[in-house]
């Protein structure tokens, strides 16, 4: 109970945090409700780090979380909503560099509480799939054209025609965003919102939908949506112009120029707050500028426009084919290169480019009549070139698919290949068995050599001590210890050798068992010989034995390689036949 109470109190604090921070920005001093709403929603977007998530990443997150197959009216609880937001922000952190990582937990908490406060104000703990899609697709980053296309794919039927009931549902959900930031009186939902957007049209296709929502001005109920995108684009735009009211030498963001007062310009802060000076009045018409053009660029633009070398106005969006588009859930992104859906998508893109070229050609109506034939020929050549490129692209993709199938068939092992050349396989097994035996023998000889070197080291120490005792006797001194005691106490205990059958003792003679005839002869006589040379001869004999064994092992390896090469050649010959 204590944990549940602490969690609920923490949720309440987080729920109020975003709205308290928004109030601290003092957006309410902005005079116009359109700018006020856009600024508030832009603040929520940046505070929750939604501006870093592109609309295509958002659509992919919908697909990965299984929302693309759910009905729009299906309900999800808050815990699943939190899971979806977690996947969105954790994937975002994977795409961002390590120096620009975001606080994932904080972003999830702020956005979750904002969504719940917007779409679950009565505390049911659930919201519809369509409401969540509409909110996240509207508030995320990316181009407004891509957002509107995705929204149209969600509210249109299989024939590519907008369903008015679904568009009405979209307006209900998306207009809850201005209400959540206390701008409901200006942009709240009404029953006449749909007809104010499409007063006369009965059959709304994609291009018509884009024309209406991206018009200047757009529908009154959605006028804040394109403004929010323009705010994002001009946040870092610099204007080297002095503000006529605050006398600031430069401006950041929007710049507003009066259409009646010559040379009267205001920065966005002064315009938003309704400041005016001199003969200028707030009732004058102001033109919004989102970029700065030098006087030289303005002059060249005016000359080009007057000479008819450029179109009077560019379309607000590219013209798309009238055929119905599939819902943009990014399912085709997981297909391979040779899949039919990928081919269809590439063909659609090429067709869209051709339609755009045709639209640009049709818009160039102000060109001189003498250029009509030239434009017609150029468009015809472009269409022919596009058709050739489509055919070539189709042939290349088919060739790639054929080569991949051949490669997969060649790389798969078959029982016939495994049963070829039984004689070579038997010889190869014998050679490998012989190699294993030689390796075991070599390991045994290495162990014997190691033990023998230990014995030889002990004998060298005995020899050195004996020489020191002789020198002491000749000089008349007394040795520190007797030879027998030295010989019996300084000899190390060797490990049992694989070539010696008896257990070694502390005596020197027993320690020489298995060493070699030269060493035995050296210690069998009463008077020691030149033991240093004898020990070197014994070590050389061991080294020669090891060298011969290594050569034999290398010969076996060469035989194995030769047999494997013969088998490989035989296999390739059989495959070619």
Query: For position 407, what pLDDT does the model report?
Result: 76
The conformational region for residue 160 under phi > 0 = left, psi -120 to 50 = alpha, else beta, is left
Which run of H or E residues covers position 519?
Answer: helix 517-524
Place of tokens 């068992």: 513
Q: Of how many residues is the chain composed?
A: 577
**518 or 92: which carries more pLDDT confidence?**
92
> pTM for this structure?
0.55
**Range of weakest confidence among 37-41, 204-208, 394-398, 449-453:** 449-453
Tell me which of 265-269, 481-485, 558-562 is least confident: 481-485
Indicate the range of 18-27, 273-282, 383-392 predicted with least confidence.
383-392
Q: Do residues 187 and 224 make contact, with C-beta atoms less than 8 angstroms apart?
A: yes
Task: Enumerate the β-bridge partners of residue 258.
Answer: 286
Phi-psi region of 182 (alpha: psi -120 to 50; beta: other; left: phi over 0): left
Once rounded to an integer, what is the mean pLDDT over residues 17-43? 93
CB atoms inside a 10 Å sphere around CB 88 = 25
In this prediction, residue 452 carries a pLDDT of 76
Band (437; pLDDT cuts 50, 70, 90): confident
Reading the block at residue 263, the tokens are 């040379």
pLDDT in tens, 451-460: 777 777 777 7
Q: Which of 401, 392, 357, 400 is nearest to 376 (CA)?
A: 357
Q: Return the pLDDT at 151.
A: 95
Name the band, by pLDDT with cuts 50, 70 and 90, for residue 267: very high
87 has a pLDDT exceeding 90: yes
What percent of the chain clears pLDDT 70, i.e. is strictly above it? 66
Pick the more confident residue, 4 or 425: 425
Please state, in angstroms and rounded to a whole number, the distance separating the CA atoms of residues 55 and 142.
5
The C-alpha atoms of residue 353 and residue 320 are separated, in whole angstroms, by: 9
pLDDT per residue over 546-577, tens digit each? Answer: 777 777 777 766 766 776 677 777 666 666 65
CB-CB contact of 44 with 22 (8 Å):
yes
Q: SS3 breakdown of the chain: % helix, strand, coil, rounded to 5?
A: 65, 5, 30
pLDDT value, residue 458: 78
- Burial (CB count <10 Å: 0-12, 13-18, 19+), residue 505: middle
- pLDDT tier for residue 527 given thresholds of 50, 70 and 90: very low
């Amino acid at each position: 109970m204590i944990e549940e109470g602490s969690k609920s109190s923490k949720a309440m604090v987080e729920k109020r945090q975003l709205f308290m921070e928004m109030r601290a920005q003092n957006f309410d001093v902005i005079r116009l409700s359109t700018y006020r709403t856009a600024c508030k929603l832009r603040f929520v977007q940046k505070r929750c780090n939604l501006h870093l998530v592109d609309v295509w990443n958002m659509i992919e997150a919908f697909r990965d979380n299984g929302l693309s197959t759910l009905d729009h009216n299906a309900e999800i609880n808050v815990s699943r909503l939190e899971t979806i937001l977690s996947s969105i922000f954790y994937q975002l952190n994977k795409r961002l560099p390590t120096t620009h990582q975001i606080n994932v937990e904080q972003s999830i908490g702020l956005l979750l509480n904002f969504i719940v406060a917007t779409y679950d104000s009565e505390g049911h703990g659930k919201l519809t799939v369509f409401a969540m899609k509409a909110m996240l697709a509207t508030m995320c980053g990316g181009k407004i054209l891509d957002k509107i296309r995705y929204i149209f794919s969600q509210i249109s039927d299989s024939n590519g025609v907008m369903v008015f009931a679904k568009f009405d549902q979209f307006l209900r959900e998306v207009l809850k965003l201005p209400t959540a930031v206390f701008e409901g009186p200006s942009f709240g939902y009404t029953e006449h919102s749909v007809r104010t957007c499409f007063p006369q049209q009965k059959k709304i296709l994609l291009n018509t939908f884009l024309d209406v929502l991206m018009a200047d001005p757009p529908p009154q109920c959605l006028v804040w949506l394109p403004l929010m995108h323009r705010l994002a684009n001009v946040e870092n735009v610099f204007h080297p112009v002095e503000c006529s009211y605050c006398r600031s030498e430069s401006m950041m963001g929007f710049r507003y120029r009066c259409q009646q007062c010559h040379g009267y310009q205001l920065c966005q802060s002064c315009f938003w707050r309704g400041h005016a000076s001199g003969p200028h009045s707030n009732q004058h018409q102001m033109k919004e500028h989102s970029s700065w053009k030098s006087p030289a660029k303005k002059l060249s633009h005016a000359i080009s426009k007057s000479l008819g070398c450029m179109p009077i106005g560019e379309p607000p969006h590219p013209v798309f084919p009238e055929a119905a588009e599939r819902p943009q859930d990014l399912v085709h992104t997981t297909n391979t290169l040779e899949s039919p859906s990928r081919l269809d998508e590439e063909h659609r893109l090429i067709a869209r480019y051709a339609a755009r070229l045709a639209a640009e050609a049709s818009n160039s109506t102000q060109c001189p009549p003498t250029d009509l034939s030239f434009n017609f020929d150029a468009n015809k050549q472009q269409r022919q070139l596009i058709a050739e490129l489509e055919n070539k692209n189709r042939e290349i993709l088919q060739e790639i698919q054929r080569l991949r199938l051949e490669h997969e068939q060649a790389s798969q092992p078959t029982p016939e290949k495994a049963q070829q050349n039984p004689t070579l396989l038997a010889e190869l097994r014998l050679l490998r068995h012989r190699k294993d035996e030689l390796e075991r023998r070599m390991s045994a000889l290495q162990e014997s050599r190691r033990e023998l070197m230990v014995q030889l080291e002990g004998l060298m120490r005995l020899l050195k001590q004996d020489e020191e005792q002789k020198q002491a006797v000749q000089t008349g001194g007394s040795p520190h210890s007797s030879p027998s005691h030295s010989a019996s106490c300084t000899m190390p205990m060797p490990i049992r050798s694989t070539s010696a059958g008896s257990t070694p003792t502390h005596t020197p003679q027993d320690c020489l068992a298995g060493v070699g005839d030269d060493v035995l002869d050296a210690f069998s006589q009463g008077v020691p010989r030149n033991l240093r040379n004898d020990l070197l001869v014994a070590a050389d004999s061991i080294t020669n034995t090891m060298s011969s064994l290594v050569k034999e092992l290398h010969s076996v390896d060469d035989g194995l390689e030769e047999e494997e090469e013969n088998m490989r050649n035989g296999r390739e010959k059989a495959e070619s036949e």
